[in-house]
Amino acid sequence: MMRGRITRVGFGLLALGVVGGCAREVTVRARMGVASLHPYRTYGWMSRDPKAIDNPGRTVLDNQVHLEVDGYLATQGFQMTALETPDFMVGYEWKIGTAAADTLGDFFRYRGAGGTKQLTEAFAIGYEEGIFTLQFIDTGTRRTIWEAQAKALVGRNDQPESLDQVIAAMFKKLEEEQKN
């Protein structure tokens, strides 16, 4: 089960720069597991992060994700339900991963996205990348019906993307996929 999770970052460095510094350009990719979301009408949330109770920053993050996603789904005619089995469940995950510039092309893409490490350090040690994944899971089949993932460099000093912009970009990808 997916849960809001932050590793090694605590309250300040939310994976896509909600508070901390990340790339001004966030890479978003998405995939549809079904032809359309039209058969689905109701949704629910996978369990909230149990660690959020002890960490006010995580509670704020969890609430912000719920607020942004609930707001978008409401505009699309979906209804959240807690009393009956929903058509699909919404889950998300945060994580910090390490990437490396294995080629010169990788290094130039890293620097173009705002990375600040020198070639030798980006190649030998690598750099941190924040990853936010949002999923819709069919409750009947337990299959992923839609998934989006956003990646951004961690540790940048320029203006970060906000969570609402990242989630909006994810849903824009969803709308584009449903048109195809």
Residue 56: pLDDT band with limits 50, 70, 90: low
Distance of CA 168 to the CA centre of its chain: 11
88-142 residue pLDDT tens: 999 998 777 777 888 888 888 777 777 778 888 888 888 777 788 899 999 999 9
Per-residue pLDDT at 86: 95
Q: Report pLDDT for 118.
A: 84
Residue that is written with structure tokens 């929903």 in the block: 86
**Quick one: tokens of 152?**
């951004």
Q: Which residues contact 51 (CB under 8 A, 6 or more apart)?
A: 5, 58
* pLDDT value of residue 154: 64
Q: Does residue 78 register a pLDDT over 70?
A: yes
Query: Average per-residue pLDDT in the chain?
Result: 74
Q: Residues 84, 78, 66, 50: what is their CA dihedral angle, to the nearest 10 degrees?
A: 20
Given this model, what pLDDT does residue 179 score? 76
Domains of the chain: which residue ranges?
A: 27-163
Q: Tell me what pLDDT residue 10 has.
A: 28
Of residues 139 and 56, more confidence is placed in: 139
Range from 52-61, 78-87, 115-124 that averages highest in pLDDT: 78-87
Q: Is the pLDDT of residue 72 over 90?
A: yes
Single-letter residue type at 81: T
| Whether residue 5 has pLDDT greater than 50 | no
Fold of 27-163: Double Stranded RNA Binding Domain (3.30.160)
What pLDDT was estimated at residue 146? 92
Q: Is the pLDDT of residue 166 over 60?
A: yes
Intra-chain end-to-end CA distance of the chain, in Å: 30
**pLDDT of res. 123:** 80
Is the per-residue pLDDT at 40 higher than 90? yes
Least confident among 57-61, 99-103, 155-159? 155-159
